[in-house]
Amino acid sequence: MAEVQYSWPENHKTRLLGKRVNRLDGMVKSAGTAKYTYDINLPNQLIVHALGCPHAHCRVLSVDTSAAEKVPGVVLVKHIKAPKAGEDPVEIEADGTLLVAVAAESEAAAAEGVAKLKVEYELLEPFTADDDLEAAEAKDRTRPRGGGISLDEALGEPGDDEDIEEWEEKQIEKLFADADYVVEGDYGIDAITHCCLEPHGTTLHWEGDRLKAHLSTQNVSGTDDGFAGALNLTADDVDVHCDYIGGGFGSKFQPNYWGIAAAEIAKATGRPVKFMLNREQELKVAGNRPSGFVHVKLGADESGVVQIWDSHHWGTSGFNGSTVSVNSVPYVFVPKNYRRKATGIATNNEPSVAWRAPNHPQACALTQTAYDDLAAKMQADSLDIFLRNLENIDSPEKAPLYAEQLRIAADLINWQRHWHPHGKSPRKGSVVEGLGIAIHTWGGAANDSDCRLRIHPDGGVESYCGTQDLGTGTRTVCAMVLAETLGLPVEAVKVNIGSSTFPFSGASGGSTTVGAVSESHRRAAQDALAQIFELVAKKLEVPADQLEAAGGKISVVGYSDKELTWKQACSLIGIKPLEVNSSYKRQQQGRTTNLSSSNVGGCQMAHVAVDTDTGLVKIKRMVAVQNVGLIINRKTAESQVYGALIMSIAGALFEHRINDPKTGVFVNSQMDSYRLPRLGDIGELIVHLHEPESERARGVIGLGEPPVISGCAAISNAVCNATGVRVPTLPFTPKRVLDAMRTAKG
Amino acid sequence: MSQSTSKGFSRREFLRGSSAAAAASSVASTAIGQDTAVAPQVVTGETSITLKINGESKTAKVEPRTTLLDMLRYQFDLTAAKPVSADGSSGASTVLVDGRPVMASSTLALSVAGKEITTCESLVDDEVPRAFVEHDAQQCGFCTPGFVVAVRAFLNQHPDATEEQILAGLNGNICRCGTYANVLQAVVSLVKGEQNG
Check residue B61 and give its pLDDT: 96
- CB of B167 within 8 Å of any CB in chain A? yes
Measured between CA atoms, how close is A29 to chain B, in angstroms?
5
Domain that holds residue B168: 124-191
Contacting residues of B for A470, CB less than 8 Å apart:
140
Check residue A655 and give its pLDDT: 98
- CB of B171 within 8 Å of any CB in chain A? yes
- Tens of pLDDT, residue by residue over A177-186, are 999 999 999 9
Q: Looking at the domain that runs over A357-444+598-745, which CATH code has it been given?
A: 3.30.365.10
Reference A579, options A414, A460, A700, A426; nearest CA is A460
Q: Judge if B46 and B91 occupy the same domain.
A: yes
Q: Residue A471: which of B90, B139, B170 has the nearest Cβ?
A: B139
CATH of the domain at B47: 3.10.20.30
Check residue B40 and give its pLDDT: 66
Lowest mean pLDDT among A251-265, A569-583, B1-15, B135-149: B1-15
SS (H, E, C) A8-39: CCCHHHCCCCCECCCCCCHHHHHCCCCCCHHH
Q: How far is Cα A123 from Cα A111, in angstroms, rounded to an integer?
A: 25
Please name every residue paired with B48 in a beta bridge, in sequence order, or none if there are none. B61
Reference B96, options B145, B166, B163; nearest CA is B145
Contacting residues of A for B121, CB less than 8 Å apart:
31-33
Per-residue pLDDT at A463 exceeds 70: yes
Indicate whether B72 belongs to any domain.
yes
Q: Judge if B105 and B15 occupy the same domain.
A: yes
Contacting residues of A for B120, CB less than 8 Å apart:
31-32
* Residue B97 neighbours by CB distance under 10 Å: 19
- CB of B136 within 8 Å of any CB in chain A? yes
Burial of B53 (0-12, 13-18, 19+ CB in 10 A): buried
- Coil, strand or helix: which one is A548? strand
* Residue A703 neighbours by CB distance under 10 Å: 29
For the segment A626-644, the average pLDDT, to the nearest whole number, is 97
Per-residue pLDDT at B10 exceeds 50: no
Residue of A21, A24, A28, A30 to mutate, interface with B, max B Cβ within 10 Å: A30
Per-residue pLDDT at A564 exceeds 50: yes
Measured between CA atoms, how close is B81 to chain A, in angstroms?
7
Q: Judge if B98 and B32 occupy the same domain.
A: yes
Lowest mean pLDDT among A388-397, A558-567, A597-606, A732-741: A558-567
Q: Judge if B116 and B129 occupy the same domain.
A: no
- Tens of pLDDT, residue by residue over A517-538, are 999 999 999 999 999 999 999 9
Indicate whether B5 belongs to any domain.
no
Reference A323, options A140, A191, A187, A128; nearest CA is A191
Complex ipTM > 0.90: yes
Helix (H) or strand (E) holding A677: none
Q: How far is Cα A700 from Cα A512, in angstroms, rounded to an integer?
A: 10
Check residue A561 and give its pLDDT: 83
Residue of A200, A679, A684 to mutate, interface with B, max B Cβ within 10 Å: A679
CB neighbours of A218 closer than 8 A, spacing ≥ 6?
A245, A248, A250, A252, A253, A468, A470, A507, A508, A509
For the segment A140-168, the average pLDDT, to the nearest whole number, is 95
- CB of A86 within 8 Å of any CB in chain B? no
Burial of A546 (0-12, 13-18, 19+ CB in 10 A): middle
Residue type at A342 in one-letter notation: A
Q: Judge if B106 and B161 occupy the same domain.
A: no
Q: Residue A471: which of B65, B87, B141 has the nearest Cβ?
A: B141
For the segment B83-101, the average pLDDT, to the nearest whole number, is 97
Q: What one-character-per-residue DSSP string does A51-64 give?
A: EEPS-SSEEEEEEE
Please name every residue paired with B84 in a beta bridge, in sequence order, or none if there are none. none
Indicate whether B175 belongs to any domain.
yes
Q: Residue A678: which of B85, B171, B177 has the nearest Cβ?
A: B171
H-only helix segments in B68-126 = 68-70
% of chain A residues with pLDDT over 90: 97
Q: Residue B79: which of A35, A245, A685 has the nearest Cβ?
A: A35
Tell me the pLDDT band of A560, cut-offs 50, 70 and 90: confident
The domain tally of chain B equals 2
Hey, which residues 622-681 in chain A have their CB within 8 Å of chain B? Answer: 635-636, 638-640, 642-647, 650, 670-672, 676-680
Residue type at A253 in one-letter notation: F
Contacting residues of A for B80, CB less than 8 Å apart:
31-33
Q: Residue A679: which of B77, B87, B167 has the nearest Cβ?
A: B167
Contacting residues of A for B140, CB less than 8 Å apart:
197-198, 244-248, 470-471
Per-residue pLDDT at A315 exceeds 70: yes
Per-residue pLDDT at A681 exceeds 80: yes
Check residue B37 and give its pLDDT: 55
Indicate whether B178 belongs to any domain.
yes
**Which of B102, B120, B138 lies at the terminal end of a domain, its last residue?**
B120
Q: How far is Cα A254 from Cα A353, in angstroms, rounded to an integer?
A: 11
DSSP 8-class letter at A9: P
CB A304 within 8 A of CB A378: yes
Q: What one-character-per-residue DSSP string does B134-149 give?
A: HTT--SS-SSHHHHHH
Strand order from edge to edge, sheet including A46-52: A74-79, A98-104, A46-52, A273-276, A201-207, A210-215, A238-241
- Tens of pLDDT, residue by residue over A25-69, are 999 999 999 999 999 999 999 999 999 999 999 999 999 999 999
* Residue A427 neighbours by CB distance under 10 Å: 9
Q: How many residues are there in chain B?
A: 197
Burial of A329 (0-12, 13-18, 19+ CB in 10 A): buried
Name the segment(s) of chain A with CATH classification 3.90.1170.50: 37-124+200-276
Contacting residues of A for B173, CB less than 8 Å apart:
678-679
Tell me the pLDDT band of A558, cut-offs 50, 70 and 90: confident
Give one word for B54, left, alpha or beta, with left for phi > 0 and alpha for psi -120 to 50: left
CB neighbours of B19 closer than 8 A, spacing ≥ 6?
none
**Which of B60, B90, B120 lies at the terminal end of a domain, its last residue?**
B120
Contacting residues of A for B61, CB less than 8 Å apart:
none
Measured between CA atoms, how close is A362 to chain B, in angstroms?
19
Per-residue pLDDT at A597 exceeds 50: yes
- CB of B66 within 8 Å of any CB in chain A? yes
- CB of B143 within 8 Å of any CB in chain A? yes
- Tens of pLDDT, residue by residue over A61-109, are 999 999 999 999 999 999 999 999 999 999 999 999 999 999 999 999 9
Average pLDDT, chain A: 97
Check residue B196 and give its pLDDT: 61
Flag if A32 and B134 touch (Cβ within 8 Å): no
Reference A475, options A484, A459, A485, A464; nearest CA is A464
Reference A49, options A100, A96, A1, A124; nearest CA is A100
DSSP 8-class letter at B101: E
**Which of B81, B104, B120 lies at the terminal end of a domain, its last residue?**
B120
Check residue B28 and give its pLDDT: 38
Strand order from edge to edge, sheet including A578-584: A493-497, A461-465, A449-455, A578-584
Indicate whether B196 belongs to any domain.
no
Class level of CATH domain A447-495+504-589: alpha beta
Measured between CA atoms, how close is A683 to chain B, in angstroms?
9
Hey, which residues 1-30 in chain A have their CB within 8 Å of chain B? Answer: 22-23, 25-27, 29-30
CB neighbours of B130 closer than 8 A, spacing ≥ 6?
A27, A30, B196, B197
Per-residue pLDDT at B5 exceeds 70: no
Indicate whether B197 belongs to any domain.
no
Name the segment(s) of chain A with CATH classification 3.30.365.10: 357-444+598-745, 447-495+504-589
Contacting residues of B for A107, CB less than 8 Å apart:
70, 74
Per-residue pLDDT at A334 exceeds 80: yes
Helix (H) or strand (E) holding A29: helix A26-30
Q: How far is Cα B180 from Cα B147, in angstroms, rounded to an integer?
A: 10
Flag if A682 and B179 touch (Cβ within 8 Å): no
- Tens of pLDDT, residue by residue over B56-83, are 999 999 999 999 999 999 999 999 999 9
Q: How far is Cα A481 from Cα A584, in angstroms, rounded to an integer?
A: 15
Domain A37-124+200-276 falls in which CATH fold? Aldehyde Oxidoreductase; domain 3 (3.90.1170)
Q: Judge if B45 and B114 occupy the same domain.
A: yes
Check residue A3 and give its pLDDT: 85
% of chain B residues with pLDDT over 70: 78
- CB of A498 within 8 Å of any CB in chain B? no
Contacting residues of A for B174, CB less than 8 Å apart:
197, 671, 676, 678
Check residue B185 and give its pLDDT: 97
- Coil, strand or helix: which one is B67? strand
CATH of the domain at B164: 1.10.150.120
Query: What is the end-to-end Cα distance of chain A in Å, rounded?
Result: 79
Hey, which residues 690-729 in chain A have their CB within 8 Å of chain B? Answer: none
Indicate whether B3 belongs to any domain.
no
Check residue A697 and give its pLDDT: 95
Q: Judge if B135 and B41 occupy the same domain.
A: no
CB A215 within 8 A of CB A240: yes
Check residue A736 and give its pLDDT: 98
Chain B: residue whose CA lies nearest to A29: B141
- Tens of pLDDT, residue by residue over A467-506, are 999 999 999 999 999 999 999 999 999 999 999 999 999 9
Residue type at A150 in one-letter notation: S
Indicate whether B145 belongs to any domain.
yes
Residue type at A489 in one-letter notation: P
Measured between CA atoms, how close is A636 to chain B, in angstroms?
7
**C-alpha B128: how far from its chain's center?**
15
Q: Judge if B109 and B129 occupy the same domain.
A: no
Residue type at A612 in one-letter notation: T
Lowest mean pLDDT among A156-160, A252-256, A263-267, B23-27: B23-27
- CB of B86 within 8 Å of any CB in chain A? yes
Check residue B9 and give its pLDDT: 39
For the segment A646-666, the average pLDDT, to the nearest whole number, is 98
Size of interface A-B (CB pairs under 8 A): 180
CB A499 within 8 A of CB A241: yes
